[in-house]
Structures are given as C-alpha cells and as structure tokens.
Amino acid sequence: MPAEQKTHYRACNLCEAICGLEIKTQGDQVLSIKGDKNDPLSRGYICPKGVAMQDIYSDPNRLRKPVKKHGDSWVEISWQEAFDSVAEKLVAVQEQHGQNAVAFFAGNPNVHNYGSMTHAGVLRKAVQSKIHFSATSLDQLPHHLTSYSLYGHQSLIPVPDIDHSHYMLIIGGNPLASNGSIMTSPDIPKRLKAIQQRGGRFIVIDPRRTETAEIADQHLFIRPGTDAWLLMAMINTLFAEDLVKTGHLTDLLVGIDQVRSACESFTPELAEQYSGVAAEQIRQLARDMANTEGAVCYGRMGVSVQVYGTLCQWAIQMINILTHSLDVRGGMMASSPAFGYIKPGESGAGHFAAFHSRVSGLPEFSGELPASAMAEEILIEGEGQIRSLITIAGNPVLSAPNGNQMDKALAGLDFMVSIDFYINETTQHADIILPPTSALEHDHYDIAFHRFAIHNTARFNQAVFEPAQDSKHDWEIFNQLGLAIAARKGVDAKPLPSPDQIVDYGIQCGPYSAKAGHELELTLDKVKQHIHGLDIGPLEPSLPQRLCTADGKITLMADYIEQDIARLNADQPLIEKDEFLLIGRRHIRSNNSWMHNSKRLVKGKPRWQLLMHPDDLAAHQLQDQSQVRIQSRVGEVQTQVLASDEVMPGVVSLPHGWGHKREGVNLDIAAEQEGVSCNDLTDEKLIDQASGNSALNGVPVRIFAV
C-alpha cells in the first residue's frame, strides 16, 4: 500500500521573509511545496528557494552522522565518540593555551533556527572562551550598534511600516532579490507596488539598477561608499530649509543642535561631488521625506557593509527622527512580537568596546569581535592566539573578507569542529563535523524575524518529517556537547529544556499573555492552534515606553559618531585612476554560500559573472563574455565579464557565495558550477571603523584582460 498523502503547513526558514509554505508529502517524499495562502504575513507568496527546501532534505551530500577526518577521507563515528573526542581535544587546547585559545564562529542560519537561538549558550558557557565571531559583523552590526546607542537595546531596531507608507527611500537594499532584510516583509513585490497604488512613491539609491530599482518610481545611481555624504546632506537640508519636525518624540530627543552643527559643512553640493547624485536631487529627497505623511528612509547591506556603515545607519535614523517618520504609521516602527518583545529591563541590551581584538585592536560588540579579525587572530603567533575553532552554521572561507587568508588560517588550526551538515569550503578543515537535522525535520518558531516583521504575527512550525534515526537537532548537539565539555572540566552544567518550552515561557511573559492582561492570553499552545500563523495586527507606535536607555531618552550624538563625522570630513574620494569599485549582488535563486547544491536553483542562465558597464569594457579594451583577471590588495581571481548598463561606470559587481570548485569540498552539484568567490578579493583591512564591521561593498579592484 502506498503511504498516505499528507499536507503540512510551515514557514520557510531560509531567508528573513519567513513565508508560509504548504507542503504535500507521501512517506518520506515531498510531492509539492507551494505558498500558504492563509499565512497572514506572506499571503501565499513564495520564491524558488522555498521550493528547494526539499532538495536540502533529500540531498545525498548532506551528512546524517558525525564524521571524523581520517587522512584525506571522512569516516562516520557515533555521537558518543564524537562528543567525547571533541570535548577531549578542546579541553586539551584550553589546558595548554588558556580558555581563549578556543574561538567560535557562528553563521547566518543560526538565527533561522530556533534551537540554535535558545541553546547555543549551553555550549558557550561550557567552553568559557570570550572569543566569539559571527556573520553579524559581515552584515548588520551597524544596525545593532546604532539601536544600542540611540534606543538602549541592540535589538530594538525599527522597521519600515511598509503597508502604510506613502514614500519609501530604499538605499543600498534590493528586496526584490533578498526578500527584505531587517524588514521581514514577504510578498515584497506586491507590498512595494501597493505603495504606488495608494498614490505613494518609492525611490532606490544604488550603484546598480537592481530588480527593485526597475519597478521603483525613480532610481538614482550612487558611487559606492559615498552614501554618508548624501545622507548627511539630507540632514543638512532639513535644517537649512527649516523642515525639521519631531512630533511626539520632541521631549525625548537630546542633542538636536549637535546634529545640526555636525551636518553644517555637509552641503548637497559637497555630496554631489562625492556621490554623483545631483545636489538639487538630494534636497528634493529631504523635502519629500519631510513633506509626506508616512515616509520612511530604509537602508541595508549596501549602506551597512561599507566603510561608513555605522554613520550611514545613524544618519538614516536621524532622517527618520527629524522628519517625524520614526514611531509613526507608515514610517519606521518597532515590531511587537509575541516572543522577544523589547522593553526596559530586557536582557541582552548590548555593550560596546569592553575589550578589543589582540592583533588589530578592533572593538567587541556584545561579546563578539569583528569577523574581519578572525584569520589574523588565528595566524599571528603570540599570547592569546586562537588554536582551535568551533564553527556553527557558518562558511567564513566564502563569506568573510580575504577568503584565501581564512582558508590558510583554518588549515593551520590545532583542532576544529563544525556543527554543520555539509562538507564545504569551511567545514572541510574540521577534524570532526557534527551534523544536525535539516529544517523539515525539526520544529521551528521564528525568534529572530517576528521581531523585525512589518506586521505582527506568530507562527509555530511543526516538523514535516520525523528526524532520521540516530540524528540530533542543533539544540540537542549544544546540550550534549556542552555537558561533555563541562564534565571533562569538572564544572557543573545543566542542559536546557527543549526550545518550545523556552519559547512558551517567553510568550507567556510577553505582551499578549494573560500575565500582561492581554485578551489573547497567548501561550505557545494557542499559537499552535493557528496552523497558518496567528495575525496579531499591524505595527503600532510604541517607542517612548519601550526605550531601554538609562534616562529613557534618545541621545542623538555619541562620541564614536562625532569621530566618524570627523573622519568623513577629512576623507578624500576613495578611487584611483584605473580602479573600479567592486560591489556584491544577490539573486532570488541563490542564498549566501550554501544553496548551490540544489539543481533546481542553479539551473538556467549562470549568475556568477562580473558585471561591467559597456563603456568601461570598451575603454579597457575588454570583450563582453571574455575572461578577465580581477585584482585587489589581497588577491586575484579570474572569471567571465558581462557587459551590463545595470551597473554605473566605474563600478563592477560580483556576487558572493560562489567558488565551490575546491579540493575537499563534497558538494556534487555546487562543485560543477563555475564562478569564483568574491571574498577572495574583499579586504579584511577595509572596515567600517566605528563598529569594525567588514566593508564588503566598494572594494577597489583592477581589471585586466586574460
């Protein structure tokens, strides 16, 4: 008898959009994956990656058992042996070289997996090292630092109230490809078009005419890395033209005059010289922000992951604040999630520069050092050198700057363990790999992204399949490895209860609980009854009562911002003659470095080429579709160039996450793909100096014919 057909509803956890899926299965086969029309947030939207969830589940290259390196090959070992050996090796390194000789690198999928969010602490506590790195400092660290300093909590990050906006300025984000970031906003094409349908407009500022720019009311090209001048000039205009209004936040704002004087020298004319955006245009952007009810200025990767990342994010907050677009309908508002609602007294507010990295003296943020410093901390000898590494759902060889240096650093470690289910460019350096279950085999409640959602919902996602026999979830690995390490050190350690117990507890302490006197009297069980997700309602103004700063106010200026403004004042245009500025590129069918083993996603037109403006090709005697050599301070790669007037002259674009043709990588389909790693060119010394975040956009490169 054939197995029964079943229909499951769960959210996709691949990107921040958390789309609801309708998954039909029979036995251990997926029959179909479609958008869940009844999901109150995603409303049936789905992208090609959601359908590819099944390819991860069925991927023959995905590890199902712990493996140990044996010469050039890998052998399966039992969980018991794996935990014992890892504990033995890590503790031995710490006994010989000190606690901080073991470091952590945590990658992006951790925040898409509730068990990793709730349980990684068990392992961290057992290891007792203070050296932590993560993808945060390759990505959104400027947002956390800005929210920490303005609003008193690193996770109190306001998001666009896009469903009610009448004007949206998108700077350095391509939500049509990324599906939104620090803006959980599935179904983004319809949501952006809805702005236009209600008579509003949205504008994109980007060095590339992106998919989002194509459907925008206006697209402005900008030279990479020069957004800070433009944003400062917008603030300058708000003051100069007497457009500043701060509404209900007025009494909470400290230091407006300091902002005014800090921006005095940054005129639109100066900004034009740097950015290439006309001065009158910059003035108009400021006027439109100020004169439209429900306006919002939003900036992402292109303005965070560049040399002025923190200053840009600060300036974006200033623009929203000074046009009374913060904490108002249609502007920027903080979400009110059922779990992880930020209010005064909430833990995890953050801290900054409590210590610095050994080699380059980069500041920590909330206990993490910038990922740009990781390779040198491993490679450079001396007291405090990293000898051993734990990677958790991360691929720094492809995702961090100067990938070749990272590769070399990892190869020289005394011991490395990876919690990951693929043998890829990074994990191939591990001595032992501990593979967790894949997403369809475990329950999920989105801890991270309900928090940044443009509409408040709650959704529990039941596992679709039974976990494979003798497999473990990430959270079980954290519990059990943590305990094994603690036992070996002779210290007390307790495993944490399951993630859903922790989430239930959090929801019952949250804003919709009986305890809070809310009519929903929400518990996890009640959330579970809503198999498509529970609609809690639109975002509401809430900032004044949620500020976590000591005085309950918003202090606009900070020392590190003043220093950065001074740096901007003294800066010269970055570019030398014959140099190009390299930027990245995301595509709807690709997900960072790890979804290229899905045939369904990589098929069709290749997407890893370098894009260059036709005039630049001609000026450099290069041919469309020819091979070119791209050279930066740290490295060189060779790839195919495509002529494209999507990118502005002087700019070239290469996506990250490619370059799987390497010895030791066990990804059959990915390894067939051409394409090189853009991070073999990005430079670990090019950082946002305020936060230490990597500057992966706007990297100077030279290009030669092959």
Ligand X SMILES: Nc1nc2c(c(=O)[nH]1)N[C@H]1C(S)=C(S)[C@@H](COP(=O)(O)OP(=O)(O)OC[C@H]3O[C@@H](n4cnc5c(=O)[nH]c(N)nc54)[C@H](O)[C@@H]3O)O[C@H]1N2
Among 13-21, 196-204, 228-236, 629-637, the segment contacting ligand SF4 (CB under 6 A): 13-21
Is 40 near ligand SF4 (CB under 6 A)? no
19 binds, among ligand SF4, Mo ion, ligand X, none (CB under 5 to 8 A by kind): ligand SF4
For residue 9, the cross-strand partners are: 22
State which amino acid sits at residue 191: R
Nearest Cα residue to 184 out of 399, 366, 447: 447
42 lies in the site for ligand X, by CB under 6 A: no
The least CB distance from residue 465 to ligand SF4, in Å, is: 18
Which residue's CB atom is positioned nearest to ligand SF4? 50
As measured in angstroms, the least distance from the Cβ of 474 to ligand X is: 5
Pairing mode, strands 455-458 and 534-538: antiparallel
Window 4-23: residues binding ligand X (CB under 6 A) = 15-16
Give Cα 229 to chain centroid, integer Å.
24
Stretch that binds ligand X, among 388-396, 500-508, 531-539, 659-667 (CB under 6 A): 388-396
Q: How far is the CB of 16 from ligand X (least distance, A)?
A: 6
Q: How far is CA 148 from CA 62, 130, 137, 302, in A?
A: 38, 21, 15, 21
Residue nearest to ligand X (CB): 302
Give the number of other Cβ atoms within 10 Å of residue 1's Cβ. Answer: 3
Question: What phi, psi does 101 have (nearest 5°)?
Answer: -75, -10
SS3 121: helix
Contact window for Mo ion (CB under 5 A) among 79-87, 133-141, 237-245, 308-316? 133-141
71-100 residues near ligand X, rule: CB under 6 A: none
Q: Does 692 bind ligand X (CB under 6 A)?
A: no
Give the up-direction half-sphere exposure of residue 277: CA atoms within 13 A in the CB hemisphere: 30
Three-state DSSP class for residue 202: strand
| 186 touching ligand SF4, by CB under 6 A | yes
Q: Which of residues 19, 297, 681, 701 is near ligand SF4 by CB under 6 A?
A: 19
What stretches of 98-247 show up as alpha helix (H) in DSSP? Answer: 114-127, 141-151, 175-178, 188-197, 211-215, 227-240
Distance CA 135, CA 393 (A): 10
Interatomic CA distance for residues 201 and 170, integer angstroms: 11
| 12 near ligand SF4 (CB under 6 A) | yes
Minimum CB distance to Mo ion, residue 368 (Å): 15
Contact call for residue 227 and ligand X (CB under 6 A):
yes
By beta-carbon proximity to ligand X, the closer residue of 139 and 431 is 139
Is 376:369 a contact under the CB 8 Å cutoff? no
Interface residue with ligand X among 126, 171, 486, 634 (CB under 6 A) is 171
Compute the least distance from the CB of residue 316 to ligand X, in Å. Answer: 11
Under rule CB under 6 A, residue 66 binds ligand X: no
CB of 95 to ligand X, least distance (A): 27
221 contacts 206 by C-beta, under 8 angstroms:
yes
Find which of Mo ion, ligand SF4, ligand X, none residue 700 binds, CB within 5 to 8 Å per kind.
none
| 272 part of the interface to Mo ion, by CB under 5 A | no
Burial of 559 (0-12, 13-18, 19+ CB in 10 A): exposed
Tokens of 455: 């509409």
The correct pick among 116, 134, 179, 325 for binding ligand SF4 (CB under 6 A) is 179
Q: Tell which one of 82, 87, 103, 135 touches ligand X (CB under 6 A).
A: 135
Q: Determine which residue in the list 172, 350, 482, 635 makes contact with ligand X, applying CB under 6 A.
A: 172
Binding residue for ligand SF4, selected from 8, 9, 10, 17, defined by CB under 6 A = 17
Classify 526 as helix, strand or coil.
Answer: helix
Check binding of 16 to Mo ion (CB under 5 A): no
The binder of 186, among ligand X, Mo ion, ligand SF4, none, by C-beta within 5 to 8 A per type, is ligand SF4
C-alpha distances out from residue 490 to 82, 254, 259, 487, Å = 19, 50, 54, 5
15 binds ligand SF4 per the rule CB under 6 A = yes
Residue 403 as a binder of ligand X (CB under 6 A): the answer is no
Q: Is 683 near Mo ion (CB under 5 A)?
A: no
Q: Does 637 bind ligand X (CB under 6 A)?
A: no
- Please state, in angstroms and as integers, the Cα–Cα distance from residue 138 to each residue in 678, 692, 695, following that order: 14, 9, 8
Task: Tell me how far apart the alpha carbons of residues 22 and 24 are, in angstroms, rounded to a whole number.
Answer: 7
Instruction: Identify which of residues 306 and 523 has a Cβ nearer to ligand X in the complex.
Output: 306
Q: Are the C-beta atoms of 405 and 181 separated by less than 8 Å?
A: no
Whether residue 371 contacts residue 400, with contact meaning beta carbons closer than 8 Å, is answered with yes
Q: Which of 328-336, 403-411, 419-427, 664-672 is the region at the interface with ligand X (rule: CB under 6 A)?
A: 419-427
Mark the segment that binds ligand X (CB under 6 A) among 142-150, 294-302, 453-461, 636-644: 294-302
Query: Among 10, 18, 489, 568, which residue interacts with ligand SF4 (rule: CB under 6 A)?
Result: 18
323 bridge partner residues: 245
Q: Which of 14, 235, 410, 686 binds ligand SF4 (CB under 6 A)?
A: 14
**275 Cβ partners below 8 Å, 6+ apart?**
222, 223, 226, 227, 229, 230
Using CB under 6 A as the binding rule, the residues of this chain from 421 to 440 that contact ligand X are: 421-422, 424, 436
Q: Please name the residues in contact with 236: beta carbons below 8 A apart, sequence gap of 6 or more.
A: 263, 264, 266, 267, 268
From the list ligand X, Mo ion, ligand SF4, none, pick the one residue 256 interacts with, judged by a Cβ distance below 5 to 8 Å according to partner type.
none
Provide the terminal-to-terminal Cα distance of the chain, rounded to the nearest Å.
Answer: 61
Nearer to ligand SF4, 49 or 660 (CB): 49
C-alpha span between 633 and 7 (Å, rounded): 53
SS (H, E, C) 599-654: HHHHCCCCCCCEEECHHHHHHCCCCCCCEEEEECCCCEEEEEEEECCCECCCEEEC
Look-up: residue for tokens 């470091």? Answer: 103
Interface stretch with ligand X, choices 103-111, 235-243, 321-329, 617-625 (CB under 6 A): 103-111
The single residue among 16, 22, 139, 420 that binds Mo ion, judged by CB under 5 A, is 139
Buried b (16+ CB within 10 A) or exposed e, 666-693: bbebbbebebbbbbbbbbbebbbbbbbb
User: Does residue 46 belong to the site contacting ligand SF4 (CB under 6 A)?
Assistant: yes
Regarding 233 and contact with ligand X (CB under 6 A), the answer is no
# of chain residues touching ligand SF4 (CB under 6 A) = 12
The item of ligand X, ligand SF4, Mo ion, none sharing an interface with residue 584, based on CB under 5 to 8 Å by kind, is ligand X
The footprint of ligand X (CB under 6 A) covers 15-16, 107-109, 113, 135, 138-139, 171-175, 177-179, 181, 205-208, 210, 222, 224-225, 227, 300-303, 306, 392-396, 399, 419-422, 424, 436, 474, 583-584, 586-588, 590-594, 656-657, 678-679, 682, 696-698
Per CB under 5 A, residues contacting Mo ion are: 139
What is the binding site for ligand SF4 (CB under 6 A)? 12, 14-15, 17-19, 46-47, 49-50, 179, 186
